[in-house]
Chain A
Amino acid sequence: MSKSMIPVRVASVRDVAPKIREFRFTAVDQALPAFSAGSHVMVEMQGAEKTYRNAYSLMSDPADISSYGIAVRLQDESRGGSVFMHTQVQEGDVLNIAPPANLFAPHWAAKKHILIAGGVGITPFMSYLPEMKRRNADFELHYLYRSAQTGAYRQQLSEALGEKYFSYDSDHGQQCIVHQLLAQLSPGAHVYICGPESLIEAVKTEAATLGIPAGIIHYEEFAAPKPGKAFTVSLASSGQQIAVDGESSMLEALEEAGVEVANMCRGGVCGQCVTGVKEGIPEHRDDFLSAAEKASGQCVMPCVSRAVTDSLTLDL
């Protein structure tokens, strides 16, 4: 994995909301690759005790690859990554990033795009908007935030988008009625949600109630892997034993031990890191494997999932 990483220089750092900090990256010795609207990059952070790897949406215009922009929300229950970005990273620093990957591209055949952002979930849409403008696509942006914490870029979005922009500041009692929003959609509309799990679930549930097909609802959630009880991973090939502490993900523990596992989203959605299970029972926490695959217990997504049993033997 390390050989495909790209070094980038932190060209600027600025606060764009009380808890959101924006970082601009420029090339060090190799040009930044082109990317498409909705892409993300995985940023590697060399902490004092461990290496953090978090995926962040690119929020800059895909037509301009002279720099990349990401915005990081300081997480209340940070596992270290967002605290590192907020307290340790300064202008001039060099970080390693993985090349952009896209799991949240707009469905360009849609007749209308309904973008729903929750807090820092505005970031992927920042890359959608210039592209939608160039393609003359019909869209609406619904932006839900708490102005005491998030709500980055709302001034510029309001000015640039005019009547296509709808904002809901829950710190000022403004609520988005998801039912109303969905009930007025006509055929050809596609809905995109980026935000907390609760927002995604609310939209999915309302859509199902209204009889709206699940296939027009697209979402991206970069939930950090949630902690759990500690367990041990055994590698079938070598018998090597690797301890996974309660705070680390299985993937992180494997990486710390020098075991490379292909991965991309690190959030249980893309399917890249799927790994065979030889012994033990996995505790599935991903959105990728089917119910039947989960029930079979023969594979696991180490980026978010853990173990029910005290040890798990992986086909590695």
Chain B
Amino acid sequence: MQTNADKPELTLNPGVKSRPQYPPVSLNPAAQCQVFIARKNTTGDKAGALLKPLMDEAEKSEKSLNIIPLVVGEDGDVISMSQLPQTISSLPLASSFYLAGTEAFIWDVAKLICEAGFIMEQVHLLPPVNNERRLFCTHCYAITEPVTHSPAVCSGCGRHLLVRDHFSKIHRAYVGVQIDAEDPADLPEESEELC
């Protein structure tokens, strides 16, 4: 594997265009309804911590904003993913959404919001809380998640997949292609941790 020292200095942006960027999120003070959606914490409350400054700001606002915090999980004390569409569809057009959690989660919720008729301009994605990716196999179309290293074994067909940086908004997943298609013995010795 190449180390950084071996690499020539890149002058062009080496990133894949389709890979989502997560610029800093600020509160949209014009929205009447401020909706904060976080995945219930599994690794400390990272998602909640990301949303807190925005929620604090919304609460301090002089306008009487309608603030709606939603924590998504499987337990009885929180809202489940399947209940989310109904809740979202009851919200007014002048809503702004702030989403935090894993990358697959925030894009899943973004899709539900858009299906309810809102547009992406209203949806603010906080940086994903970890490096977990959802992986879409371009050979058998199976989804494997979470994936943190490349290559990864496909949960559907068992192929060794190179995890690409190309992100599909339809599948809310990164695409994986077989890394050893021509020579099954030619698997990289080391797996690479994704960022």
Q: Do residues A188 and B30 form an inter-chain contact, with CB atoms below 8 A?
A: no
CB distance from B85 to the nearest CB of A (A): 12
Given contacts A210-B32, A211-B94, A212-B93, contact A187 B117 (CB under 8 A): yes
- Give the residues in chain B near A226, CB-CB below 8 Å: none
Q: Do residues A189 and B117 form an inter-chain contact, with CB atoms below 8 A?
A: yes
Contact with A along B86-107 (1 / 0, CB 8 A): 0001011111100000000000
Instruction: Give the total of B residues in contact with A, Cβ under 8 Å.
Output: 18
Question: Looking at the complex, which of A123-131, A213-221, A241-249, A267-275 is the stretch in contact with chain B?
Answer: A213-221
- Give the residues in chain B near A188, CB-CB below 8 Å: 116-117
A185 interfacial by beta-carbon distance below 8 Å: yes
Q: Do residues B119 and A211 form an inter-chain contact, with CB atoms below 8 A?
A: no
Q: Do residues B30 and A187 form an inter-chain contact, with CB atoms below 8 A?
A: no
- Give the residues in chain B near A212, CB-CB below 8 Å: 93-94
B122 interfacial by beta-carbon distance below 8 Å: yes
Q: Do residues B93 and A186 form an inter-chain contact, with CB atoms below 8 A?
A: yes
In whole angstroms, how far apart are the Cα atoms of A188 and B28 in the complex?
20
B67 interfacial by beta-carbon distance below 8 Å: no
In whole angstroms, how far apart are the Cα atoms of A209 and B96 in the complex?
14
In whole angstroms, how far apart are the Cα atoms of A216 and B118 in the complex?
9
CB distance from A206 to the nearest CB of B (A): 12
Q: Do residues A185 and B119 form an inter-chain contact, with CB atoms below 8 A?
A: no
Given contacts A211-B94, A212-B93, A212-B94, contact A186 B117 (CB under 8 A): yes
Q: Which residue of A187, A189, A210 is within 8 Å of B89 (Cβ)?
A: A187
Within 8 A of A (CB), among B117-143: 117-122
Interface residues of A (CB under 8 A from B): 110-111, 185-189, 208-216
